[in-house]
Amino acid sequence: MELSQPAPLARIIYIAGKLLEWITVFLMIFLTAIVTAAVIARLAGHSFSWYDEVAAIMLAWITYYGSALAALKRRHIGFDTVLLKLPLKYRMAALLAGEAIVLTFFVLMARAGFQVLEVLQGDMLVSLTWVPIQFTQSVIPIGAILFIICQLLSLPGYWKLTAAGISIEHAEIEEEVETELEKNKDRV
């Protein structure tokens, strides 16, 4: 179930979602190509000195950008079943408290990420000495800021669904079950 949003906000969310999807897919393809090339090189008797370091960095980047995408679509682990059992007034207060905690965490993470970048100024990767570590670690504050933006963009729709007592998780499961039943009705 998609979060219902006002038209201008829905357009921004759509564009942000597509951009994050493309970035994440590109990073996954790039990581796959690196791993495949490293395996082939190793089988041929040659090993890339930079493979482990770059693959670990790529995996971290995929995690941060994918996390922002998950925040935009409200696909992170949640407890909306518990939340929806609360009376409306407490439910909405709990939603606000949860959002405040998450946003505070990511603000602190972005701040710490910028501090890390200051500390790493002038350092380079071990295996690729021309690549600044600041570049590779820039994903920390960038990912945190993207997460904050995505969380805030998706909040109005999530607020409406929660106020209406609708579970994102249950609605998706029911929709999938109906789709599968419809696809397989002729098989029975």
With contact defined as beta carbons under 8 Å apart, do 64 and 142 qualify? yes
The pLDDT value given to residue 51: 87
Exposure of 100 in the CB half-sphere (CA atoms within 13 A): 6
The pLDDT value given to residue 93: 96
Tell me how crowded residue 60 is: count the other CB atoms within 10 A of its CB: 16
Which positions of the chain have pLDDT values less than 50? none
The pLDDT value given to residue 119: 95
Helices then strands, each counted (H, E), the chain = 7, 0
- Provide the token pair at 119: 């500390």
Q: What is the pLDDT of residues 3-33, one digit of tens each?
A: 666 688 889 999 999 999 999 999 999 999 9
Please provide residue 124's backbone torsions phi and psi, each rounded to the nearest 5 degrees: -125, 160
Euclidean distance between CA atoms 72 and 102, whole angstroms: 13
pTM: 0.85
The pLDDT value given to residue 176: 75
DSSP string covering 147-183: HHHHHHHHHHHHHHHHHTT--HHHHHHHHHHHHHHHH
- Nearest CA-CA partner of 60 in 24, 34, 20: 24
The pLDDT value given to residue 81: 83
Euclidean distance between CA atoms 120 and 85, whole angstroms: 47
- Judged by DSSP in three states, 87 sits in coil
